Amino acid sequence: MNEIRMQTKLSPAQVEADVRRALEEDVGSGDLTASLVPAEQRATATIICREAAVICGQPWVDEVLRQVAPDAQANWLVQDGERCSPGSKIVEISGQARALLTAERLCLNFLQTLSAVATKTAQYVAAVAGTRAAILDTRKTIPGLRVAEKYAVRCGGGKNHRMGLYDAVLIKENHIAAAGGLTAAFRAAQALTQPVDFIQVEVETLGQLREALDAGVTMVLLDNMPLQTIREAVKMAGERCSLEISGGVGLQTLRELAETGVDRISVGALIKDIKAVDFSMRFADKPVERG
C-alpha cells in the first residue's frame, strides 16, 4: 500500500536562496542605521524566546549569519525540534556589531514563523498520540517558503504531504469533473508515462469511495465528511486502501477523528493559521572591545 513519503533532507541551496531573497527585501543596498555604529565595533548578542515553543529555524539563522556576518560565532543552546520555556536563551552570537544589527530582524523573522509552525504541529501530534493517525501538512504555504515551512512541520513531529504538483498525483473534485469521472481520472493517472508511486483520490461520499475501491485506488482522501460517515468509510475500506481526512480539522475534534481508525489527517492550519512565536535579540550591556 502506498505511503506518504517524508522528506528527510534539507537542501542547503534552498536555505541559501530563502535567505538571499530575504536580504534583498530587507537590506537592499545597505543598512543605513547600522552604519552609525563604528565598523570595528564588536558585540555579543543573545536571542531569547519569550514563550513556550518548539524551536525551529536554525539552518536559516546560520545562513543569515553566513551571508551577513561571516566571522560571527553562534552557540546554539536549544536545537531545532526541542521545546523551550518562556525566557529561554536560544542562541548566543558574537561578531561585528554592524553585521549583527543587520542580521537581527531576519534571524527573528525566520525563528518566529518556523517555530510557530513547529509548535502548532506538536500540539496536533500530541492530540492523536496512541492512535494510528499521522498528522500531515498541505500545500497551503507562504509562496517561496514551502520547503522551510514543511521542515518546521517535521520539527514539530508531523509528516509532509506532497511537496508540490510535480511529485505526486492527487485527484480532487475538479480533476474528476474535468476528466469525466473518478474512474476515468484514476485510469489516466495510472497511464502516465512518468513513473508515479503516489496516486491519491479525493472522495466526498461513500458512493465515490465504493467506486474508488472498485477501481483499485489504494490511497483515498476523505474530504469534509461528517464523523459518522468517516466511521462508515473506515469499515467499508478495511485494509483495501489507506484513508486520509482533510477539511475543517481542528484541535477540538481531532482526537475523535483520529479514533475512527484513519491513517492520516492533513491539516492546512499547521501552516496557514499560526501566531508568530515571540523572540527578541538582546545585546550585552557592555560592548565588546573594538578589534
Both ends of the chain: CA-CA distance in Å?
62
| 3-class secondary-structure state, position 257 | helix
CA 235 – CA 289 distance, rounded (Å): 71
CB atoms within 10 A of CB 248: 13
Give Cα separations from 286 to 62, 65, 153, 227, 290 (angstroms): 24, 22, 38, 60, 12
CA 235 – CA 237 distance, rounded (Å): 6
152, exposed or middle or buried, with CB in 10 Å at 0-12, 13-18, 19+? buried
Evaluate whether 226 touches 242 at the Cβ level (below 8 Å).
no
Cell of 174: 475538479
CA 237 – CA 210 distance, rounded (Å): 8
CA 94 – CA 44 distance, rounded (Å): 4
Evaluate whether 117 touches 156 at the Cβ level (below 8 Å).
yes
Of 92, 106, 81, 126, the C-alpha closest to 31 is 106
Cell of 81: 525540534
Of 126, 81, 92, the C-alpha closest to 284 is 92
Q: In one letter, which amino acid is 215? A: A
List, by residue number, the catalytic residues.
Answer: 105, 140, 172, 202, 223
